[in-house]
């Protein structure tokens, strides 16, 4: 019964989404205030019905209703309840419903928090989001109904959730990622609303900035969690594989980063208007493209969903309507003449333009690498696979070139700056950064040029940040007053850039300085790695709720002092028979110690063991967390919460002309 | 052809991309080029990993075997490896093709993770891979007793793939051999 309620709620949600997509948009066109005013209510109604539907599916999972096909395929009565719940989105059908739910959350959030928006703009924005909702809800209903029953012949027990997904990190990784992906639909909807209304001044940029920043922050955290999960769950200490599915989330992030900066220029200086509109469309298109790639089976990936050509065709059609439609609108409506606002080549505008160029090139590089196998196959040129060497070879120099300009961008001025001023301002930071770069790697195991370079770049960025920060604070009478003068959006910017520096340092240091020993060990053996002695104490069988495991116990000593006790496991899940490696990690700010079990060797209890020493690996994730928190902080800025202007409905637009 | 023309460029690029994606839907990246199904396993004579001898097509054919293409640089192979052990325990003969790899690395890998293979063919230059049409590791070929390739799976072989795809074929082929 409950699954049928969920199914029915989803059908009602589709009807509401259709009304939301059509009626307020019609109202905005005909200037019918009553029709426009329906939008916020419809948005909330949509959330309620998709929410009911999602709750019903969750109940089916929690109650082990194996007559529902996705429950039977992805859950098991022995599964701990929290994983029964996360199994809801551990499969294609359920995760699509989550996608729709999150879209409705964003739509309702826009409806609730946009009291300062002119009704005309709000109704168009919500209509666009409603139209996206129509696409996804009908995708769910028509090709991937999560409530499909297996009647008669419901199995007694389910197939269990893929053991790789039975992990705390994976409970919140997909929701965060989707919050990011789907959140870019808000910037997209604002861009489309601006194009429809023809009002292309800086206001749409100001309205969509906080939403874009928050979506970007969610996506940063989502990607970070995915990388962290791969690190400890897959058991070989890797944290990024340039897998098509990873790329699918990384491309919107890269393009989203370009969008954040471009929106800043459009808001503050009224420049790059057409460009920013295009980026907003591009970022959301990449989110949709990511969905297409993951669910259509056009590319192979280690963690793609089960695929079905009908689904692929549906998303491709949807992609064609949304992206093709919005690009057509863009081609006809975007301002073709460049702004009259002028800026000198030596200015913050130029540096932000460079930022856009770098991030766009990075996005296209990843896009090209991801789609290359498909393109060659489609052209009949044979089958190819593109691996990490390509991505690293293009990506690393690109980022290395980006950072010097980042440091410069922070202290530069809008409109017109002076290279001589830069020289005076940044001479000292440059020297200090170089000095840091030269000395810092001396702390490592051995001197490494790449680490030196990364430290120079990060130090340059951090020093530039602090220099600018100091200028903003020092004018005040007291330090406290100076700090209070800093706006949330500046704090957010500060944190995000600091996070980026930490991330760069962490990635390079851990790539260059990690030590990894793979060896055969029996209980009683010990091995020294980077000054840490790993003692294999004993091997014990362990029983979990739905698995049995061999657990190795390790004591780790440094200079004779015990520093950690580690217990990696090799698990066998009972329902599927899959074997999983649970790595044991002693995390630290400056180094991780990592032990994973390989395979048993011989009969006498010896195992292949994998010991890692990973310096600064946490910096990468802490940096990403800082970036995410920075993104959230910017949205707290007061200027995004100004009261609604007196010209509420049509006044503003009538002046600007449609 | 005014300044507006350039605003159409993104749309045109998207249409081109969409056509590729449309074509992509018809292609299965995991599907093997049809020319290889039901064709004999190509001839080869290559070193045997960790042994001082050569291994050739004649050593492999004669019973139904799996030919597993792997490499130490292949992340998914590590995921697949434990499952190959289970297949080997069940008596499925598996020959490895150590594809574009370093011998020392490969031997260390087998040392650590165990060796489920009957023997390993060293395909350092990827010549056998080229003949087979390998485009990434891991790949697994099902070769019948007559030395004819009957199936190719691209990607990790796991319980699901084995149960649903390979095992039925494997059983069918082995029974056929018994009946003859």
Q: Encode pLDDT of A423-432 as tens digits.
A: 888 888 888 8
Nearest C-alpha neighbor of B150 from the set B128, B112, B176, B120: B176
B89 lies within 8 A of chain A by CB:
no
Q: How many CA atoms lie within 13 A of A127 on its CB side?
A: 26
Q: Give the model's pLDDT for residue A32.
A: 92
Residue B161 located in a structural domain: yes
The strand order across the sheet containing A606-615 reads: A515-521, A606-615, A591-601, A584-586
Question: CA-to-CA distance for B37 and B152, rounded, in angstroms?
Answer: 8
Residue B16 located in a structural domain: no
Q: Is there a contact between B122 and B47 (Cβ–Cβ < 8 Å)? A: yes
The strand order across the sheet containing B149-154 reads: B119-123, B94-99, B65-70, B139-143, B149-154
Chain A contact set for B114 (CB, 8 A): 599-601, 608
What phi and psi, each to the nearest 5 degrees, are found at residue A111? Answer: -60, -40
Q: Is there a contact between A441 and A459 (Cβ–Cβ < 8 Å)? A: no
A646-to-A119, A199, A360, A465, A649 alpha-carbon distances in Å: 11, 17, 39, 39, 9
Find the helix or strand (DSSP H, E) in which A155 lies.
none
Q: Give the model's pLDDT for residue A268.
A: 86
Chain A contact set for B21 (CB, 8 A): 292, 298, 316, 319, 374
Question: CA-to-CA distance for A100 and A94, rounded, in angstroms?
Answer: 10
Residue B14 located in a structural domain: no
Taking residues B167-171, what's their average pLDDT? 86
Tell me whether strands B119-123 and B94-99 are parallel, antiparallel or unpaired.
Answer: parallel
Taking the whole predicted model, whether its pTM rises above 0.90 is answered as: no
Nearest-Cα distance to chain B for A309, in Å, is 6
Interval A554-582: pLDDT, tens: 999 998 899 999 999 988 887 766 778 88
SS3 A232: helix
Nearest C-alpha neighbor of A585 from the set A242, A240, A230: A230
Please judge whether B75 and A238 are an interchain contact, meaning their C-beta atoms are less than 8 angstroms apart: yes
SS3 B142: strand
Please judge whether A309 and B25 are an interchain contact, meaning their C-beta atoms are less than 8 angstroms apart: yes
B83 lies within 8 A of chain A by CB:
yes
What is the pLDDT confidence band of residue A163, given thresholds at 50, 70 and 90? confident
Q: What is the mean pLDDT of chain A?
A: 87
- Sign, Cα dihedral of A59, A64, A69, A75: positive
Please judge whether B75 and A608 are an interchain contact, meaning their C-beta atoms are less than 8 angstroms apart: no
The yes-or-no verdict on residue A164 having pLDDT over 80 is: no
Q: What is the DSSP string of A548-589?
A: EEEEEEEEEEETTEEEEEE--EEEEETTT--EEEE-EEE--S
Q: Is there a contact between A71 and A111 (Cβ–Cβ < 8 Å)? A: no
Among chain B residues, the shortest Cα distance to A278 is held by B10
Nearest-Cα distance to chain B for A45, in Å, is 34
Q: What is the DSSP string of A454-472?
A: HHHHHHHHHHHHHHHHHHH
Q: Give the model's pLDDT for residue A658.
A: 32
Which of A149-158, A601-610, B11-20, B146-155 has maximum average pLDDT? B11-20
Q: Give the model's pLDDT for residue B28.
A: 61
Dihedral class, residue A616 (left if φ above 0, else alpha if ψ from -120 to 50, else beta)? left
Q: Give the model's pLDDT for residue A301.
A: 54
Nearest C-alpha neighbor of A105 from the set A34, A181, A33: A181
What is the percent of chain A with per-residue pLDDT over 70, rounded to a whole number?
93
The yes-or-no verdict on residue A337 having pLDDT over 80 is: no
Q: What angle do CA A654, B1, B7 make, to 5 degrees?
A: 55
Q: Give the model's pLDDT for residue A572.
A: 83
B15 lies within 8 A of chain A by CB:
yes
Tokens of A522: 């029996």
Give the torsion through C-alpha atoms of A442, A448, A454, A460, to 10 deg: 40
Question: Which residues fall within 8 angstroms of residue A412, CB to CB, at 6 or more apart?
Answer: A347, A348, A351, A422
A320 lies within 8 A of chain B by CB:
yes
Of how many residues is chain A composed? 658
Tell which A residues from 8 to 67 touch B, by Cβ distance under 8 Å.
Answer: none
Question: CA-to-CA distance for B55 and B45, rounded, in angstroms?
Answer: 6
Residue B4 located in a structural domain: no
ipTM comes to 0.82
Of B18, B20, B33, the CB nearest to A374: B20
Of B24, B135, B159, the CB nearest to A298: B24
Which among A598, A600, A602, A607 is the top mutation candidate for probing chain B, defined by the most B β-carbons within 10 Å of its own β-carbon? A598
B18 lies within 8 A of chain A by CB:
yes
Interval A520-560: pLDDT, tens: 888 999 999 888 999 999 999 999 888 889 999 999 999 88
Question: CA-to-CA distance for B17 and A623, rounded, in angstroms?
Answer: 34
Cis peptide before B138 (omega within 30 of 0): yes
The yes-or-no verdict on residue A190 having pLDDT over 90 is: yes
Interval A296-305: pLDDT, tens: 666 655 454 5
Question: CA-to-CA distance for A199 and A280, rounded, in angstroms?
Answer: 16
The yes-or-no verdict on residue A381 having pLDDT over 80 is: no
Q: Give the model's pLDDT for residue A320.
A: 93
B88 lies within 8 A of chain A by CB:
no
What is the pLDDT confidence band of residue A135, given thresholds at 50, 70 and 90? very high
Residue B140 located in a structural domain: yes
Taking residues A348-360, what's their average pLDDT? 91
Q: Is there a contact between A131 and A79 (Cβ–Cβ < 8 Å)? A: no
A278 lies within 8 A of chain B by CB:
yes
The yes-or-no verdict on residue A291 having pLDDT over 70 is: yes
Residue B17 located in a structural domain: no
Q: Give the model's pLDDT for residue A62.
A: 94
Which among A325, A383, A611 is the top mutation candidate for probing chain B, defined by the most B β-carbons within 10 Å of its own β-carbon? A383
Q: Give the model's pLDDT for residue A644.
A: 45
The yes-or-no verdict on residue A45 having pLDDT over 50 is: yes
The yes-or-no verdict on residue A651 having pLDDT over 70 is: no
What is the pLDDT confidence band of residue B164, given thresholds at 50, 70 and 90? confident
Please judge whether B4 and A578 are an interchain contact, meaning their C-beta atoms are less than 8 angstroms apart: no
Q: Give the model's pLDDT for residue B31.
A: 54
Name the β-bridge partners of A248: none
Tokens of A432: 């200090």
A313 lies within 8 A of chain B by CB:
yes
Q: Is there a contact between A312 and A297 (Cβ–Cβ < 8 Å)? A: yes
Of A328, A374, A579, the CB nearest to B24: A374
Please judge whether B24 and A336 are an interchain contact, meaning their C-beta atoms are less than 8 angstroms apart: no
Q: How many CA atoms lie within 13 A of B109 on its CB side?
A: 24
Question: CA-to-CA distance for A316 and B18, rounded, in angstroms?
Answer: 8
Please judge whether B22 and A383 are an interchain contact, meaning their C-beta atoms are less than 8 angstroms apart: no
Which of A322-331, A430-439, B86-95 has maximum average pLDDT? A322-331
Number of domains in chain B: 1
Name the β-bridge partners of A581: A570
The number of helix segments (H) and strand segments (E) in chain A equals 20, 10
Please judge whether A299 and B22 are an interchain contact, meaning their C-beta atoms are less than 8 angstroms apart: no
Q: Give the model's pLDDT for residue A300.
A: 57
Residue B101 located in a structural domain: yes
Please judge whether B155 and A375 are an interchain contact, meaning their C-beta atoms are less than 8 angstroms apart: no
Structural domain for B80, as ranges: 34-179
Count A/B contacts: CB-CB distance under 8 Å: 122
Question: CA-to-CA distance for B44 and B55, rounded, in angstroms?
Answer: 8
Please judge whether B135 and A385 are an interchain contact, meaning their C-beta atoms are less than 8 angstroms apart: yes
Q: Give the model's pLDDT for residue A338.
A: 61
Question: CA-to-CA distance for B73 and A575, rounded, in angstroms?
Answer: 31
Which among B2, B11, B133, B154 is the top mutation candidate for probing chain A, defined by the most A β-carbons within 10 Å of its own β-carbon? B11
pLDDT greater at residue A161 or residue A251: A251
Please judge whether B111 and A520 are an interchain contact, meaning their C-beta atoms are less than 8 angstroms apart: yes
Among chain A residues, the shortest Cα distance to B134 is held by A383
Tokens of A391: 């991505």
Name the β-bridge partners of A435: none
What phi and psi, each to the nearest 5 degrees, are found at residue B20? Answer: -65, -40
The yes-or-no verdict on residue B110 having pLDDT over 60 is: yes
Question: CA-to-CA distance for A145 and A159, rounded, in angstroms?
Answer: 19
Chain A contact set for B22 (CB, 8 A): 316
Residue B90 located in a structural domain: yes
Interval B44-80: pLDDT, tens: 888 888 887 888 888 888 889 999 999 887 777 888 8
pLDDT greater at residue B34 or residue A149: A149
What is the percent of chain B with per-residue pLDDT over 70, rounded to a whole number?
89
Question: CA-to-CA distance for A323 and A135, rounded, in angstroms?
Answer: 12
Q: Is there a contact between B102 and B72 (Cβ–Cβ < 8 Å)? A: yes
CATH of the domain at B118: 3.40.30.10
Interaxial angle between packed helices A419-439 and A449-474, expressed in degrees from 0 to 180 and rounded to the nearest 10: 130
Q: Is there a contact between B173 and B166 (Cβ–Cβ < 8 Å)? A: no
Tell which A residues from 365 to 424 touch B, by Cβ distance under 8 Å.
Answer: 371, 373-375, 377-378, 382-385
Tell which A residues from 581 to 600 touch B, by Cβ distance under 8 Å.
Answer: 598-600
Of how many residues is chain B composed? 180
Q: Is there a contact between A408 and A426 (Cβ–Cβ < 8 Å)? A: yes
Among chain B residues, the shortest Cα distance to A384 is held by B135
A431-to-A428, A457, A458, A505 alpha-carbon distances in Å: 5, 12, 13, 18
Rounded-to-5 percentages of helix, strand, coil across chain A: 65, 10, 25
A494-to-A40, A180, A239, A470, A472 alpha-carbon distances in Å: 35, 21, 26, 12, 12
Taking residues A105-124, what's their average pLDDT? 91
Q: Give the model's pLDDT for residue A112.
A: 93
What is the pLDDT confidence band of residue A655, given thresholds at 50, 70 and 90? very low
Of A309, A327, A600, the CB nearest to B10: A327
Which of A482-486, A502-506, A654-658, B23-27 has maximum average pLDDT? A502-506
Please judge whether B25 and A579 are an interchain contact, meaning their C-beta atoms are less than 8 angstroms apart: no
The yes-or-no verdict on residue A496 having pLDDT over 90 is: yes
Tokens of A395: 């990506």
Name the β-bridge partners of A264: none
Interval B80-108: pLDDT, tens: 888 899 898 888 899 999 988 888 888 88
Based on the number of CB atoms within 10 Å of its own CB, is A528 exposed (0-12), middle (13-18) or buried (19 or more)?
A: exposed
Interval A438-487: pLDDT, tens: 888 777 777 888 888 999 999 999 998 998 888 888 877 788 888 888 88
Please judge whether A374 and B21 are an interchain contact, meaning their C-beta atoms are less than 8 angstroms apart: yes
Q: Is there a contact between A15 and A79 (Cβ–Cβ < 8 Å)? A: no
Which stretch of A72-86, B7-21, B130-144, B164-178 has the lowest confidence by average pLDDT?
Answer: B164-178
Q: Is there a contact between A169 and A104 (Cβ–Cβ < 8 Å)? A: no
Tokens of A645: 């202007």
Q: Give the model's pLDDT for residue A646.
A: 41
CA A596 to chain centre: 28
Based on the number of CB atoms within 10 Å of its own CB, is A424 exposed (0-12), middle (13-18) or buried (19 or more)?
A: exposed
Question: Which residues fall within 8 angstroms of residue A212, CB to CB, at 6 or more apart?
Answer: A183, A184, A186, A187, A256, A259, A260, A263, A280
Tokens of B85: 């052990």
Tell which A residues from 597 to 636 touch B, by Cβ distance under 8 Å.
Answer: 598-601, 608, 610
- In 10 A of CB A468, how many CB atoms? 20
Q: Is there a contact between B106 and B124 (Cβ–Cβ < 8 Å)? A: no
B1 lies within 8 A of chain A by CB:
no
- Sign, Cα dihedral of A482, A485, A490, A491: positive
Chain B contact set for A294 (CB, 8 A): none
Find the helix or strand (DSSP H, E) in which B29 lies.
none
């Amino acid at each position: 019964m409950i699954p049928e309620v969920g199914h029915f709620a989803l059908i009602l949600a589709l009807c509401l989404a259709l009304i939301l997509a059509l009626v307020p948009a019609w109202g905005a066109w005909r200037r019918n205030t009553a029709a426009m005013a329906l939008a916020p209510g419809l948005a909330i109604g949509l959330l309620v019905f998709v929410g009911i539907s999602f709750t019903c599916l969750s109940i089916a999972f929690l109650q082990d209703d194996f007559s529902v096909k996705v429950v039977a395929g992805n859950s098991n009565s022995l599964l701990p309840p929290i994983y029964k719940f996360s199994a809801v989105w551990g499969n294609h059908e359920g995760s699509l419903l989550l996608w729709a739910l999150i879209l409705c959350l964003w739509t309702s959030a826009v409806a609730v928090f946009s009291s300062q928006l002119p009704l005309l703009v709000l109704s168009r924005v919500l209509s666009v989001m409603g139209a996206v909702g129509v696409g996804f809800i009908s995708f769910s209903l028509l090709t991937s109904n999560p409530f499909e029953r297996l009647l008669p012949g419901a199995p007694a027990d389910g197939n269990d959730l893929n053991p790789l997904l039975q992990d705390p990190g994976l409970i919140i990784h997909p929701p965060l990622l989707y919050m990011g992906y789907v959140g870019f639909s808000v910037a997209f909807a604002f861009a489309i609303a601006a194009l429809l209304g023809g009002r292309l001044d800086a206001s749409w940029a100001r309205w969509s900035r906080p939403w874009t920043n928050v979506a970007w922050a969610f996506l940063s955290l989502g990607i970070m969690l995915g990388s962290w999960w791969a690190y400890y769950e897959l058991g070989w200490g890797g944290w990024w594989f340039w897998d098509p599915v990873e790329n699918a989330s990384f491309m919107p992030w890269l393009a989203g980063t370009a969008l954040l900066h471009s929106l800043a220029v459009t808001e503050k200086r009224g420049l790059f208007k057409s460009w920013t509109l295009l980026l907003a469309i591009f970022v959301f298109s990449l989110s949709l493209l990511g969905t297409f790639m993951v669910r259509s089976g056009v590319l192979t990936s280690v963690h793609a969903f089960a695929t079905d050509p009908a689904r692929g065709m549906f998303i491709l059609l949807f992609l064609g309507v949304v992206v093709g439609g919005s690009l057509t609108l863009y081609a006809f409506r975007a301002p073709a003449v460049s702004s009259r606002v002028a800026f000198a080549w030596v200015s913050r505008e130029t540096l932000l333009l460079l930022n856009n160029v770098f991030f766009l090139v990075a996005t296209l590089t990843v896009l090209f690498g991801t789609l290359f196998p498909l393109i060659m196959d489609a052209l009949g040129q044979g089958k190819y696979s593109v691996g990490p060497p390509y991505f690293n070879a293009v990506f690393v120099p690109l980022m290395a070139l980006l950072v010097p300009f980042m440091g410069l961008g922070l202290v530069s001025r809008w409109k017109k700056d002076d290279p001589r001023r830069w020289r005076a301002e940044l001479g000292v930071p440059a020297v200090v950064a170089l000095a840091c770069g030269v000395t810092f790697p001396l702390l490592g195991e051995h001197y490494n040029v790449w680490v030196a370079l990364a430290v120079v770049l990060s130090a340059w960025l951090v020093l530039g940040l602090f220099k600018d920060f100091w200028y903003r604070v020092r004018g005040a009478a007291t330090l406290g007053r100076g700090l209070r003068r800093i706006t949330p959006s500046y704090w957010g910017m500060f944190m995000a850039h600091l996070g980026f520096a930490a991330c760069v340092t962490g990635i390079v240091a851990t790539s260059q300085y990690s030590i990894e020993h793979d060896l055969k060990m029996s209980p009683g053996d010990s091995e020294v790695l980077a000054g840490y002695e790993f003692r294999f104490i004993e091997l014990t069988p362990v029983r979990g709720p739905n698995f049995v495991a061999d657990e190795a116990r390790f004591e780790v000593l440094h200079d004779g002092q015990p520093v950690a006790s580690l217990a990696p496991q090799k698990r066998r899940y009972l329902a599927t028979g899959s074997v999983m490696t649970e790595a044991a990690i002693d995390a630290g700010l400056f180094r991780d110690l990592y032990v994973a079990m390989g395979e048993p060797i011989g009969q006498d209890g010896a195992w292949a063991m994998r010991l890692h020493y990973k310096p600064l690996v946490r910096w990468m994730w802490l940096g990403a967390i800082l970036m995410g928190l920075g993104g959230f902080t910017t949205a707290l800025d007061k200027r995004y919460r100004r009261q609604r202007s007196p010209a509420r409905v049509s006044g503003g637009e009538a002046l600007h002309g449609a | 052809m005014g300044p507006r023309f350039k605003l159409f460029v993104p749309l045109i690029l998207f249409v081109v991309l969409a056509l590729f994606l449309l074509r992509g839907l018809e292609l299965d990246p995991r599907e093997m080029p049809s020319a290889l199904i039901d064709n004999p396993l190509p001839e080869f004579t290559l070193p045997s990993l960790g042994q001082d001898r050569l291994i050739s097509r004649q050593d492999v054919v004669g019973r139904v075997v799996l030919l597993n293409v792997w490499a130490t640089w292949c992340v998914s192979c590590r995921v697949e490896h434990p499952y190959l052990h289970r297949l080997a325990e069940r008596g499925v003969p598996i020959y490895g093709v150590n594809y574009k790899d370093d011998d020392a690395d490969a031997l260390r890998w087998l040392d650590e993770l165990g060796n489920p293979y009957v023997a390993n063919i060293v395909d350092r230059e990827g010549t056998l891979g080229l003949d087979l049409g390998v485009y990434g590791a891991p790949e697994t070929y099902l070769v019948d007793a007559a030395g004819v390739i009957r199936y190719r799976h691209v990607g990790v072989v796991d319980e699901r793939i084995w149960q649903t795809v390979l095992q039925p074929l494997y059983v069918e082929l082995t029974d056929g051999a018994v009946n003859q």
